[in-house]
Amino acid sequence: MDKNITILAIETSCDETAMAILKAKKRADSFEFETLSNVVASQIDIHKKWGGVYPELASRAHLEAMIPVLEETLLPLGKNLKISPVSKHSQILNLIDCIAVTQEPGLIGSLLMGIETAQILGAIFKKTVIKVNHLEGHVYASFVHLNRKFSIPKTNIFPILALVVSGGHTSLILMQDHLEYQTVAQTIDDAAGEAFDKVARIIGLPYPGGPEIEKLAKKGNKNTYNLPIGLDRKKDFSFSGLKTAVLYLTKNPSTGRKKKYNRDDLAASFQKTVADTLIQKTKIAIGKHNPKTLILAGGVSANSYIRNRFSREFPHSTSKAKHPTLLISPKLLSTDNAVGIAVAGAIKILANR
């Protein structure tokens, strides 16, 4: 039996205030979706001068952005309604069936801004509030198509192996079914995105470091510097040694004096080593778990070089070689957003989880 819902999602785990509205439908063999709105208010300009996210400033910025982002998110849902300006937002919110919100992980103050907003709206408008893990949002964003309508099969895509790689996380997650997660490998120290930011700071680039390193790397020779893969040929990730190796190439560890180096080449070599590391660990997990689908998600997956490397390493299956089907989040949905949170929340409701 088909079931339809309209879901509002709120994501405030770090430094972006994001909301989205999706229509979702449960079919016999799939979940069908249509994205009605997707709004993200970024705080990059606020945190740039600190070289990273300043948690208290992030919380305040969420508080300031919450109502404007909500109003903009609601606009597409109410554009065809004949409603009075005085009560329009209340009338539109009454068209929502449920609210999904990021519960964890993330900055405590930032998360509370989103959770309290969802709970207040849920209490006032008598809507069910579904709490979603931030990493679930990254995983399910990989199924989204930017042409608004998309579907997710109920079966025939499992097992799924999802590599979630961002500023705070680098994890390989195995899924045997929807909403069932098992972490099979993870970083023991820095996340890959964190390493991008720290290396960018070492070589004098502004925050956020990922896009800046990618820009420089296009001009550099990726084979100039031989950098280490952390925990080489083991299942888990480590990026602290890579970060230290970059530091020692730029500065004498005993005297603190700066060394001569080519910044473009170092950026390219670092980016290549991160990609090598991610691919090596993913291949180890594929060999062990034999997934039908491979997902690359999270903020670092917006990096074009890493996206292209994964596409070359894991092409579509052929008669000569069998590979899992590769899904990569659209670039616009690689970083924090509420669309993936809405998809995960809707599946929880539609699958009675």
Where are any strands of DSSP class E within 108-204? 128-133, 149-153, 160-165, 170-175, 182-186
- pLDDT score of 251: 93
Contact 175, 181 (CB under 8 A): yes
Q: Write a three-state SS string for 75-117.
A: HHHHCCCCCCCCCHHHHHHCCCCEEEEEEECCCHHHHHHHHHH
Tell me what pLDDT residue 317 has.
57
Query: Are residues 137 and 344 in contact, defined by beta-carbon separation less than 8 angstroms?
Result: yes
Write the single-letter amino acid at 226: N
Same topology between domain 3-146+334-350 and domain 160-328: yes
What's the CA gap between 342 and 35, in Å, rounded?
9
Distances (CA, A) of 228 to 110, 268, 272: 35, 14, 11
pLDDT of residue 233: 94
Q: Which CATH class is domain 160-328?
A: alpha beta
Domain boundaries, the chain: 3-146+334-350, 160-328
pLDDT of residue 319: 45
pLDDT at residue 263, rounded to an integer = 97
Report pLDDT for 47.
82
Segment 206-219, tens digit of pLDDT: 989 999 999 999 99
Residue indicated by tokens 């950098």: 227
Asked if residues 18 and 61 have their Cβ atoms less than 8 Å apart, the reply is: no
Q: DSSP label at 231?
A: T
Q: How far is CA 73 from CA 22, 35, 61, 262, 338, in A?
A: 11, 11, 17, 45, 11
Domain with residues 3-146+334-350, CATH architecture: 2-Layer Sandwich (3.30)
Residue spans of the chain under pLDDT 50? 1, 86, 319
What is the predicted pLDDT for the residue at 1? 44
